[in-house]
Amino acid sequence: MIPGATEPERCWAAGRGLLVVGHGTTDEVGAAETREVTDLVAGLLPGVPVELGFLELVSPTIHDAVARLASRGCREVMAAPLLLFTAGHALRDVPEALAAALATVGMRAHQAAALGLHPEIVQLSRARRAQALAGAGPEDPAATRLLLVGRGSSDPSAPGQLLEFARATLADDAGFDRAGLDLGFVAAAAPPLAAAITAICDLPPGSVRRVVVQPHLLFRGHVEERVSGEVARGRAARPDLEWLQVARLGGVEPVARAVVDRATDRWRELDAAARPAASPAGR
């Protein structure tokens, strides 16, 4: 245990490290935002070895990060994926890359859950939407559509996970009518974003006056650019509507706190499972 450890650090015994797993992007801003989150995570866990490894496209790779953690004295590592949902990357790609990297070092590794419905992420999503609406005037919720956009995955649970997240962000939000919620995906899942934008554009005049498009994304990259392009198409097709695009979540402290929570919670689960069962009293 780290001397003088705070509550989140008490399960981070000596020899344990944290591997923050980024998806990987050639967008320099998106890659920088990933590094910023990793730096914030390290700041929240002083004394704990923290390294970033990207799944694809850019360095450092997961293999690089695992080697670096080994050189820093780690014997056991928690991989915390910077992924919003549990789908193909979390279920297949990260475990496979981690296993390949571990084959060259004498370490054990575990994987924390995706960020999902973590309260920090739900609240940050609400805050980003509020920021987008801050400069807009009041509008009837019944005349407002909210289009929440996901990256997309071939995993059949993807639409359900995004819908569950959308409903969580709308809890107690009087500014939106739940009947005005739409989903769209940039790739691999239905409904496609382009079809969702077209469906909104086809609504009868007067039935809707404001469209809020919220990409549920962590960092900048080509997916956000695709969303911006579709919003521009919608705006050109229906200039009578007010189109608002919400900013991505970004490389900010709430994301880092969620990462630390997910990793710490997984250590607690593992430690609890490893403890011997208490003997019945009197035996």
pLDDT at 265 over 80: yes
Q: Which residue has the tokens 């554009």?
A: 201
Q: What is the mean pLDDT of residues 76-91?
A: 82
Residue 55 vs residue 112, higher pLDDT: 112
Helix (H, G, I), strand (E, B) or coil at 12: coil
Q: Which residue has the tokens 């689960």?
A: 269
pLDDT level of residue 88 (50, 70, 90 thresholds):
low
Domains delineated in the chain: 7-114+252-274 (3.40.50.1400), 119-245 (3.40.50.1400)
Residue 3 vs residue 245, higher pLDDT: 245
pLDDT, residue 188, reads: 75
Q: Which residue has the tokens 């919620």?
A: 181
Cα–Cα distance, 123 to 108 (Å, whole number): 34
Least confident segment among 29-38, 52-61, 231-240, 257-266: 52-61
pLDDT at 272 over 50: yes
pLDDT, residue 81, reads: 95
Q: Are 200 and 145 in contact (CB under 8 A)?
A: yes
Q: pLDDT per residue over 138-172, tens digit each?
A: 999 999 999 999 998 877 888 899 999 999 999 98
Q: Give me the helices (H) in 117-204, please.
A: 119-133, 158-170, 193-201
- Mean per-residue pLDDT over the chain, rounded: 90
Residue 86 vs residue 5, higher pLDDT: 86
Tokens of 100: 């390949």
The pTM of the whole model exceeds 0.95 = no
pLDDT, residue 179, reads: 85
